[in-house]
């Protein structure tokens, strides 16, 4: 059985299928010693090389997902010229491919970050067309009145672009600090902070607590990570219309990180 080369590379965690198509077009991939072209198909006997580095055979790699409770001051990047810690340090070694972050969190934002070795899954989970939302706990200086809450749900101008929360709810607070929970469909850079700033309040803490059906587990300490169990991996792939994949062989936690979600059984 053969598969498209770009799908195989995505399954091995090199990036999305579209990115792999660009790599193939640029001549960065060879199959059995020959520069590959768009439309190439491979099977488990083929030798694939990316940028001079031999990768695993074409059989699909087991899909793995890590949930990380990101700390403030850690960047979502593989390298940092300033020498700051990154989320990719000390991750479990992969036999093939690499870990890919599902979306990003900025330097001071904490909370749930997903990492996977499956480029297609990362692309599906982060692309707006898939309809996966994100929930954040936000602490601000000040309190919003009902009119401000309604404006943030109906849409406000932020740097020439109409932005909004799909949901916003007051949580609690005393004195000058008050907590809200907000839901976004994309989560562009500084979107939460800019939306609150448009109503005259400043965000002083921002934490992602949910990504689609994946919640930040209460038992996962700040800075810690845990690999998702095989059942959760299969269900998460199913919710974005992907095959359930080959289960991982290692023993994984039985505690689920998923909540009921549209399309998720």
Question: Where would I find the H helices in the chain?
Answer: 5-11, 17-25, 119-126, 146-154, 191-197, 230-239
H, E, C per residue of 72-136: CCCECCCCCCCCCCECCCCCCCCCCCCCEECCCCCCCCEEEEEEECCHHHHHHHHCHHHCCCEEE
Question: Which residue's structure tokens are 């700033």?
Answer: 197
Annotated active-site residue 106? The verdict is yes
The CA angle 5-263-221, to the nearest 5 degrees, is: 85
Q: How far apart, in whole angstroms, are the C-alpha atoms of residue 58 and residue 46?
A: 6
Secondary structure (3-state) at 260 = coil
16: exposed, middle or buried (Cβ count in 10 Å: 0-12, 13-18, 19+): buried
Catalytic residue among 106, 120, 133, 231: 106
* β pairing state of 100-101 and 34-35: unpaired
CB 233 within 8 A of CB 210: no
Which sequence positions are flagged as catalytic?
106
């Amino acid at each position: 059985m053969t598969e498209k080369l770009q799908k195989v590379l995505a399954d091995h965690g090199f990036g999305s299928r579209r990115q792999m198509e660009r790599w193939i077009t640029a001549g960065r991939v060879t199959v059995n010693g020959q520069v590959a072209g768009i439309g190439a198909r491979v099977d488990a006997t083929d030798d694939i090389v990316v940028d001079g580095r031999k990768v695993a055979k074409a059989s699909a790699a087991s899909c793995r997902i890590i949930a990380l409770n990101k700390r403030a001051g850690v960047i979502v990047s593989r390298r940092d010229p300033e020498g700051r810690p990154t989320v990719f340090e000390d991750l479990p070694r992969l036999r093939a491919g690499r870990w890919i972050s599902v979306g990003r969190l900025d330097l001071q934002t904490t909370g749930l970050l997903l990492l996977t070795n499956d480029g297609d899954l990362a692309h599906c989970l982060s692309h707006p067309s898939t309809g996966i939302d994100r929930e954040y706990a936000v602490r601000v200086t000040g309190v919003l009145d009902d009119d401000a809450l309604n404006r943030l749900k109906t849409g406000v101008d932020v740097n020439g672009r109409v932005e909004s929360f799909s949901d916003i709810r007051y949580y609690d607070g005393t004195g000058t600090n008050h907590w809200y929970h907000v839901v976004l469909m994309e989560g562009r850079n500084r979107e939460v902070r800019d939306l609150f700033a448009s109503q005259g309040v400043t965000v002083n803490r921002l934490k992602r607590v949910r990504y689609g059906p994946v919640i930040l587990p209460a038992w996962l300490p700040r800075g810690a990570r845990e690999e998702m169990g095989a059942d959760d991996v299969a269900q998460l792939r199913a919710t974005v219309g992907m095959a359930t994949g080959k289960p991982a062989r290692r023993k994984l936690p039985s505690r689920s990180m998923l909540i009921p979600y549209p399309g998720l059984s």
